[in-house]
Amino acid sequence: MHNPPQPGGTPRPVGTRQARDLLRVAFGPSLVAVVVIAAVVLLQLLIANSDMTGAPGAIASMWLGVHLVPVSIAGSALGVMPLLPVLIMIYGTARTTASATVSSSWFVTRWVVASALGGPVLVAAICLAVIHDAASVLTDLQTPDALLAFGSVFTVHLIGALLGVGSRVGRRLLVASPLPKWLPDAFRAAAAGVIALMGLSGAIVAGSLVVHWSTMHELYSITDSMFGHLSLTVLSVLYLPNVMVGAAAVAVGSSAHVGLATFSSFTVFGGDIPALPVLAAVPTPPLGPAWVALMIVAAASAVALGQQCARHRLPLWSALAKVAVAALIAAAVMVLLGVAGGGELGNFGDVGVDQATFGPAVFLWFAGIGALTVVMSGGVQPRVRRPKVVATADLPGEEDPDTDGVVPPGEEQAESFDSVEVPADTPADTVVVEPEPEPAPVVDEPVVDEPVADEPVVDTGSEPAPPVDDLDPEDHFIVDPDGGDHRGGSAG
């Protein structure tokens, strides 16, 4: 593992760097949230000219409220917590966890996840102790259920840790597993569908606020101070994702309710709602035909999911299975958002969406329109038809005189044509090319050996020359009786 050098030039030890990363994962997001909450609480107490007696308890209660832990004040339960802080907390946990996951080692990964869970649980225990101590002084403040508090904090940071680790090693693990190879694409398509549905629902909420501008102005008029207007604006921004989830439920054909007031694409039942400016976006009876156009939002979100599924072509059944898995994941995420954005709201009663129809409606929209989009976008791989091999019986062949072999039955020899020069101005339909006539078959005649006549032998009177190998130099010596010898010459 590469060790980045320190400013002095000395490489930093691996253990020190890993310990620092684990501490940042464990306490980084939680401490940032505590600092921001403390600043907001102290600012409010300072503006209200109040003493700082209940500041620690308020800070601890708000930190638990960021993790969707219900807060009870003076016997009134606030169970509908804003979704924006918890989404920011999940993002911060995922970001720090991803930066600490530098390798795919299971040993390193489990320590990173354990740190991301252990630090917030420790902070939650400290917050519970602070609230319990402050409740002895402030009788209006009540200590929340410890099991619910630990469970909510653990769940929020577990989701963030899984998202952070999954962004680093998730695709590699899924590809190496025996699961289908298209599973990472299904997660990506589900994310695209959820983002599209929430984004379009936010656009509908913004348009509805413009339409109901007078109602929103009346809700702001409940306070005359600038600090009051600022507080209402901040609360409206924090609760904006909750309203977007309700708009998404109305868009897919389900319903949302605030106490007795119920809102859907087909009917609206009026009732008392909290004086929060962002709630001016809810429709008022009688319901106009414009709210039925919310169905276009669900269809467009399903098209976005289907387009992501069609990026890689697959066989028909695999493509449909990928759409179904993506729709199921998207429906589960929307159901989780619906549960997190709902709860008890004091005297107004229960606030949230109809969970019995919300999840199935999201799944049906995404699965139906998404599958149709995949088919129309070319995400289905065409089926290749393979030619059938027909076994033929072995038939006796006929002899080919040119190749001295056997020609398979049914095979024809190509006819040869002479190249004919045709003038350029001659029409093509008047040119007639006659095939070359087949040559006459060659008949092999038997070869007869004819007797050769005896030629007359001519006698030249000389003996035939002996072979060169039989010549002896001594045969050319002539002995002279007078005592001399002559080589190669005649006597005398």
Express each pLDDT in 407-421 by its tens digit: 455 444 444 444 445
- For the chain, residues with pLDDT lower than 70 are 1-15, 74-75, 103-104, 139, 287-292, 384-492
Please check whether residues 303 and 161 belong to one and the same domain. Answer: no
Question: Within a domain: residue 461?
Answer: no
Please check whether residues 173 and 184 belong to one and the same domain. Answer: no
**Which residue range forms the structural domain that includes residue 96?**
12-179
* Cα 442 to Cα 401: distance, rounded to the nearest angstrom: 9
Query: What integer pLDDT is reported at residue 326 of this predicted model?
Result: 95
Q: How do residues 431-479 score in pLDDT, each as one tens digit?
A: 455 555 555 555 555 555 555 445 454 444 445 555 545 555 555 555 5
Please check whether residues 363 and 238 belong to one and the same domain. Answer: yes
**What's this model's pTM, rounded to 2 decimal places?**
0.73
Please check whether residues 219 and 113 belong to one and the same domain. Answer: no
Please check whether residues 28 and 150 belong to one and the same domain. Answer: yes
Please check whether residues 256 and 172 belong to one and the same domain. Answer: no
Please check whether residues 128 and 235 belong to one and the same domain. Answer: no
Query: What integer pLDDT is reported at residue 321 of this predicted model?
Result: 93
Q: At which of 179, 210, 234 does a domain end?
A: 179
Query: What integer pLDDT is reported at residue 418 of this predicted model?
Result: 46
* Cα 220 to Cα 228: distance, rounded to the nearest angstrom: 9
Question: Within a domain: residue 434?
Answer: no
Query: What integer pLDDT is reported at residue 119 of this predicted model?
Result: 93
Question: Within a domain: residue 392?
Answer: no
* Cα 282 to Cα 276: distance, rounded to the nearest angstrom: 11
Domain count along the chain = 2
Question: Within a domain: residue 432?
Answer: no
Q: At which of 124, 153, 179 does a domain end?
A: 179
Query: What integer pLDDT is reported at residue 414 of this predicted model?
Result: 43
Q: At which of 328, 360, 381 does a domain end?
A: 381
Q: How many CA atoms lie within 13 A of 382 on its CB side?
A: 4
Residue in 55, 29, 31 with CA at minimum distance from that of residue 44: 55
* Cα 317 to Cα 326: distance, rounded to the nearest angstrom: 14
DSSP assignment of 421-489 equals ---TTS-GGG---PPPPPPPPPP-PPP--PPPPPPPPPP-SSPPPPPGGG--GGGGEEE-TTS-EEESS
Q: Which H helix or E strand runs over 407?
A: strand 405-407
Please check whether residues 184 and 328 belong to one and the same domain. Answer: yes
